Amino acid sequence: MSAALHDINQTDGVRVRFGAGLRREIGAEVDRLGARRALVLSTPQQCDLALEVSKLLGGRATGVYTKAAMHTPVAVTEDALEHLKLAGADCLIAIGGGSTIGLGKALAYRTDLAQIAVPTTYAGSEATPILGQTEKGEKTTLSSSRVLPEVILYDPELVATLPVGMTVTSGLNALAHAAEALYAENRTPETTRLALDGIHALIDGLPRVMDAPGNLDARAVTQQGAWACGTVLGRVGMALHHKLCHTLGGSFDLPHAETHAIILPHAIAYNARAARRELGPLTAALGGETPGMALYDFARSLGAPLALRDLGIQKTDLDRAAALATQKPYPNPQPVTREDVRALLQAAWAGNAPAF
pLDDT tens digits along 108-124: 999 999 999 999 999 88
- Mean pLDDT of the residues in the chain: 94
> Minimal CA–CA distance to 196: which of 300, 286, 289, 294?
286
The string of DSSP codes covering 243-292 is: HHHHHHHHHH---HHHHHHHHHHHHHHHHHHHHTTTTHHHHHHHT-SSHH
- The amino acid sitting at 289 is E
Structure confidence at residue 8 (pLDDT): 66
Summarize pLDDT for 188-197 with one digit per residue, the tens. 999 999 999 9
6-158 against 164-350: fold identical: no
Residue 33 has pLDDT above 60, yes or no: yes
Output the furthest CA–CA distance in the chain (Å, rounded): 58
139 pLDDT tier (thresholds 50, 70, 90): confident
Summarize pLDDT for 73-83 with one digit per residue, the tens. 999 999 999 99
Instruction: Look at domain 6-158 and name its CATH class.
Output: alpha beta
In this prediction the pTM is 0.89
Q: Which of 207-211, 253-257, 292-296, 311-315 has the lowest mean pLDDT?
A: 253-257
Residue 12 has pLDDT above 80, yes or no: no
Torsion sign across C-alpha atoms 289, 292, 297, 302: positive
Instruction: Look at domain 164-350 and name its CATH class.
Output: mainly alpha
Distance of alpha carbon 242 from the chain centroid: 11
> Minimal CA–CA distance to 145: which of 12, 336, 273, 282?
12
- Taking the domains of the chain in order of start, what are their residue ranges? 6-158, 164-350
- Tell me how far apart the alpha carbons of residues 273 and 271 are, in angstroms, rounded to a whole number: 5
Structure confidence at residue 7 (pLDDT): 65
137 pLDDT tier (thresholds 50, 70, 90): confident
The string of DSSP codes covering 329-355 is: ----SSPP-HHHHHHHHHHHHHTPSP-
- Tell me how far apart the alpha carbons of residues 332 and 95 are, in angstroms, rounded to a whole number: 34
Structure confidence at residue 250 (pLDDT): 86
